[in-house]
Structure 1
Amino acid sequence: MTLVAIVLLAGALLPTLLTTMYGRPVDRLAGLMLAGPLVTLTLIVLAAAYGRPAYLDVALVLAVLSFAGSLVFARFLGRTL
């Protein structure tokens, strides 16, 4: 069951990464904001699957940093438009 969840989350991550790399600036921001929670959920599922609570710490740090990174990118985007 966890393998299915990991595959689905990784499959959902592919379009967001492509959008983040090759989209317009506004689309890149949307891809960045969507990629953070997807990777965080993937790490949480991995922590549950392997029984390693250290992955939960990494997921928490990633969630905070991805939110902060989105804010920085949005502020930069607001200056350039």
Structure 2
Amino acid sequence: MLAAAVLPALLVTLRGTPIDRLTGLIVAGPAATLVLVLLAAGYGRPAYLDAAFVVVLLSFAGSLVYARFLGRTL
């Protein structure tokens, strides 16, 4: 069910106004991270936790870069 929350966030990120895209990017990062953490707990694979950590860092940095770009263009 949590994985289904990532799909609308990605659709908003791909289509929409720049503010909506930023919102979709901010929502998709933690949702994808939670999916990876739950998969790591369910399958007992610690490598998924490493992937979740990378997704958290990249989504946070990506949203900051996009927000800075958005601030310059508006």
TM bin (shorter chain)? over 0.9
Residue of 59, 62, 65 corresponding to 2:58: 65
1:13 aligned residue: 6
Aligned-residue RMSD, C-alpha? 0.6
- How many residues align? The count is 74
Distance of 2:17 and 2:71 partners within structure 1? 14
Distance of 1:42 and 1:28 partners within structure 2? 21
Q: Would you identify which runs of 4 or more consecutive aligned residues in structure 1 move more than 4 Å?
A: none
Matched residue of 2:45: which SS?
Answer: coil
Under a length normalisation based on structure 1, what TM-score does the superposition of the two structures give? Answer: 0.89
Identity of aligned residues (%): 68
Q: For structure 1, which runs of at least 5 residues remain unmatched after alignment?
A: 1-7
Matched residue of 1:23: which SS?
Answer: coil
Q: For structure 2, which runs of at least 5 residues remain unmatched after alignment?
A: none
